[in-house]
């Protein structure tokens, strides 16, 4: 069974003006779709055919890993955002952030720094690692999904194709906008509940 490009959880213009429909036409319809297409070609007729995306990610390397992880990372990223999102969280994740980081402001600074200091392409993450929240950054297609005891809760794509059409080279402005206007804390709360 071949993998398919997952539909976005909202319309391509739903995150405007913070993320444009033009960005989605390239990022989702071209970049994400290319990872799906490449992965299907690579696994056809191999032991990976018929395995779940997560199984492939945890047992592959090289091109198969890169494409499988990018399919997963991007799907997770789309759900990490929502219209009228962002700002301070509520619910269990708010309490957990205060407990593990001291304050939302401290979390926000750590997450923004991870995104801004990831050299080249990659991702910033909020993860639950052995019961404690941590901010991580990963290069290229790397994902915390490969680590035992680590559950991804939120991610922000800092590859240039995630923001360049809307923000040019101003990655810090994109990061601030992601945190203040786009984060889907409902999704994060659900991931935290599922991990508990």
Indicate if 109 and 180 belong to the same structural domain.
Answer: yes
Residue 120 lies in a domain: yes
Q: What is the pLDDT of residue 45?
A: 94
Sheet hosting strand 132-139, strand order edge to edge: 132-139, 122-129, 150-157
Residue 55 half-sphere exposure, CB side, CA atoms within 13 Å? Answer: 7
Q: Specify whether the backbone of 122 is left (phi greater than 0), alpha (psi in -120 to 50) or beta.
A: left
Residue 142, judged by CB atoms within 10 A of its CB (0-12, 13-18, 19+), counts as: middle
Indicate if 105 and 73 belong to the same structural domain.
Answer: no
Positions at the binding site for Mn(2+): 27, 74, 157, 161
Indicate if 117 and 139 belong to the same structural domain.
Answer: yes
Sign of CA dihedral 110, 171, 87, 143: negative
The angle at the Cα of 56, spanning 54 to 58, to the nearest 5 degrees, equals 70
What 8-state DSSP symbol labels residue 153?
A: E
Q: Domain count for the chain, please give it.
A: 2
Q: Final residue of a domain: which of 47, 79, 111?
A: 79
Question: What CATH number corresponds to the domain at position 138?
Answer: 3.55.40.20
- For the chain, the residue count is 196
Question: What CATH number corresponds to the domain at position 34?
Answer: 1.10.287.990
Indicate if 127 and 181 belong to the same structural domain.
Answer: yes
pLDDT in tens, the chain (196 residues): 699 999 999 999 999 999 999 999 999 999 999 999 999 999 999 999 999 999 999 999 999 999 999 999 999 999 999 999 999 999 999 999 999 999 999 999 999 999 999 999 999 999 999 999 999 999 999 999 999 999 999 999 999 989 999 999 999 999 999 999 999 999 999 999 999 8
Residue 85 lies in a domain: no
Structure tokens at 133: 């929240």
Positions at the binding site: 27, 74, 157, 161
Q: What is the pLDDT of residue 79?
A: 98
Q: Is 0.95 surpassed by the pTM of this model?
A: yes
**From CA 67, how far away is CA 33, in angstroms rounded?**
10
Structure tokens at 74: 């991007």
Indicate if 40 and 99 belong to the same structural domain.
Answer: no
Structure tokens at 42: 């690579």
């Amino acid at each position: 069974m071949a993998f398919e490009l997952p539909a976005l959880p909202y319309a391509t213009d739903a995150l405007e003006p913070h993320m444009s429909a033009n960005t989605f036409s390239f990022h989702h319809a071209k970049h994400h779709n290319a990872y799906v297409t490449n992965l299907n070609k690579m696994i056809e007729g191999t032991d990976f055919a018929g395995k779940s995306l997560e199984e492939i990610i945890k047992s592959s390397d090289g091109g198969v890993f890169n494409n499988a992880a990018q399919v997963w990372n991007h799907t997770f990223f789309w759900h990490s955002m929502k219209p009228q999102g962002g700002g301070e969280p509520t619910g269990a994740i708010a309490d957990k952030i205060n407990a593990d980081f001291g304050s939302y402001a401290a979390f926000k600074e750590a997450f923004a720094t991870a995104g801004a200091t990831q050299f080249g392409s990659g991702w910033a993450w909020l993860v639950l690692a052995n019961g404690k929240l941590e901010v991580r950054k990963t290069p290229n297609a790397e994902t915390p999904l490969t680590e035992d005891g680590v559950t991804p809760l939120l991610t922000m794509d800092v590859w240039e194709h995630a923001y360049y059409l809307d923000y040019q080279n101003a990655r810090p402005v994109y990061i601030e906008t992601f945190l203040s206007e786009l984060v889907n804390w409902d999704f994060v709360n659900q991931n935290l509940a599922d991990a508990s």
